[in-house]
Amino acid sequence: MATPSSIFHAARTADNPFAWDVPDANGMFPPSPYDELAVLNWYTSIHYAVTISVGAILVPSMIYMVLFHTTGALLPYKKLLLVCSTSDFFFWLLDSCGQLKVRTIDGVLVGTVAGPAKLLPRWGQFIAASLGVTLVCFTNATLPAQSFYRYYALTRGKTCDKLKTTLILAFPFVVNIAPFALLSISFFESPKVQPGFNYGTVWFKEYPIPLLLILDSRSSWDRAFIATASLLISLGYLGTVYFSYRTWRQLCVYADKYSPKKGTASPVGSVPVLSGGDPADHIDCPGFPSCSKRTTSYRRRNCDNCFRHLGQLDPHSKLASNNHCYCALSSSAQGMAMSCVT
């Protein structure tokens, strides 16, 4: 049977070179392992069991739906949706395996891995924690990419080509290389800023002390990571707001152009929606021979059916590649009409 002296470590070890167990005022250790967060740990274990189980159902289901059931108007966004779904999967996986516990005192962030990843060696836990934190930045970086993708499709009348799509998908990966590298290095180098200091003194009362992940804000590596991550997150939100605003403004222009107050819309002022290089590649809209006053008697549901037909088109057909097909809305206050002009 292990004695307290063999369980606890009063000096640094290979696994914990910057933290060790702290004895009481009499220089004694508890007679048995002790954790002041034992009750909270019981609660969080139940919480993780529920979230891991629910995530194991929802996350793969979302990826399956994106891969095999993305049709209609969402089909051009399939690759972008797949990247977002994949990032959600890895975030769920790393969070489930890591289950980090963190404490911050006096500019020092100390944490430990409580999930299955605690079985990894010291460097493996550092890499896993770095990936988990970087995935938060990665998810944030996908937001402006999605906003730009939608804005491009709206203003060009078509989705991005393969090269632009590849660059958009690569953007979140490339910009997060720096935060991941800085955080990984910081886990190794940050505690060295205070030589001889026992970082176990800033951790909860837990005996024996677990392997600690330490980030000291006094370290230049830690500051570089915080500055880089903060900048990328801020630019991500600003980019999202910018392209969302431009998209909203463009929609306002379209709405104003086809407002009933401006009279009948003409093909000259139409917005390109779908097209085809072949004269036969066009949408035949029954009941809408032209955009004139005679269209005022047609019901809105006919136009809705026409739009529904548009949403079922294959986005990779020639119909979606040119500027020969135009959508025009009538000036009727009682309904809308759509005419395809080739």
**Each residue's pLDDT tens digit, 173-210:** 999 999 999 999 999 999 999 999 999 999 999 999 99
Which residues does 107 contact at the CB level (< 8 Å), separation at least 6? 216, 217, 218
280: in domain: yes
Do 117 and 161 fall into the same domain? yes
Q: How many domains does the chain have?
A: 2
Range of the domain at 315: 261-327
**Each residue's pLDDT tens digit, 214-229:** 999 999 999 999 999 9
140: in domain: yes
pLDDT of residue 218: 95
Cα separation, 297 vs 80, in Å, equals 41
Average pLDDT over residues 304-320: 43
335: in domain: no
Peptide bond into 279 cis (omega under 30): no
Of 193, 216, 251, which residue is a domain's last?
251
pLDDT above 90: percentage of residues in the chain: 47
342: in domain: no
Q: For the whole model, what pTM was predicted?
A: 0.70
pLDDT of residue 27: 79
Amino acid residing at 136: V
Do 276 and 186 fall into the same domain? no
Return the residue matching tokens 């002296």. Answer: 5
Q: Please tell me whether residue 37 adopts helix, strand or coil conformation.
A: coil
Q: Show the CA angle centred on residue 141, arms to residues 62 and 109, nearest 5°.
A: 100
Do 87 and 167 fall into the same domain? yes
**Each residue's pLDDT tens digit, 17-69:** 999 998 887 878 888 889 999 999 999 999 999 999 999 999 999 999 999 99
